[in-house]
Amino acid sequence: MATATPTIPAVARLLALALPARRGEPWTVEALTAPGAPTVLSSGSRRLVVQADGSRVEVLPESESYPRLPGAVADLADGETAAVEDLTRRLLRIVLAKLDAAQAPRGPWTPDFAERDRARRVGDLTELGLALLDYGVMPGQHERTDGTVLAWQTADDGVWQAYTVTGHTGATLRYQGPLRGVYAVLPSVLRPIDAPAPVTSAEPVSPTVFTRYLTDRFPQMRPVCGDDVESGGGQEPSASVGLPDSPSGEHANDPVDDHTTVCAEFSVGFDLLLSAVRHLA
């Protein structure tokens, strides 16, 4: 017997459960205003339209306000669970980060505007700090000349820092510690393993023991030199993992294991960061 295709409101409800709340406002499915009206997901001032095109389901920022922002598309023929997972991944990795940037205040850089920008960034990091507290982590926060930093240590002696930069949305996440400390968070940041690799004009880099160890496990990453691999950038969140004490790659062919000390850096939106917080504790 054929399985009924899930309704768009049902998919929207599953997405509302999958996406993290922001500033205490969970995602909700708005009541339909009229028969045939689009299904809308909202959280605070952010609104996403969920609509069908045959067996495909599309999730787009409300076009009247943000007509050029990217959306997310999945095929319900692949099954409800797979479709919701695909939509959630793209919303977290790309769409919501772009929506945050589009909604960020604009204006001349006056003292009042600078204070509102600082308050927004501190609010974002406070939200991250509260999420970490739920996992028993007590982060510290401090200001620096170009932004605000949140820092904490993991049980296996890894050190994470999340910082925001004046005038920008999203966060930069830095890590130093055992290589295994980035294994859980990388799948959230990297493009899906079956997605096409971005076209690059960079010259191929000869693999080393270090780069092979990472790219064998995460083929979405590419070597940029003998002791550093990276992924993403542009429309995508970015990630890089390298050896901290390897000038000119002199340690790139030393033995590597999950305990090797590395430095990593990620550029991500706050929704993605909050959804991955359990992997950072």
Spell out the domain ranges in the chain: 8-103, 111-279
Q: How confident is the model at residue 19 (pLDDT cuts 50, 70, 90)?
A: very high
pLDDT score, position 43: 95
- Residue 160, pLDDT > 90, answer yes
**% of the chain exceeding 90 in pLDDT:** 59
- Residue 238, pLDDT > 70, answer yes
- Residue among 39, 84, 89, 91 at smallest CA distance from 70: 91
Tell me the mean pLDDT in the region 219-223.
94
- Residue 147, pLDDT > 80, answer no
pLDDT score, position 7: 81
**% of the chain exceeding 70 in pLDDT:** 93
Task: Please give the model's pTM, rounded to 2 decimal places.
Answer: 0.90
pLDDT score, position 1: 38
Which region among 58-67, 96-105, 166-175, 226-235 has the lowest average model confidence (pLDDT)? Answer: 58-67
Which region among 125-129, 198-202, 256-260 has the lowest average model confidence (pLDDT)? Answer: 198-202
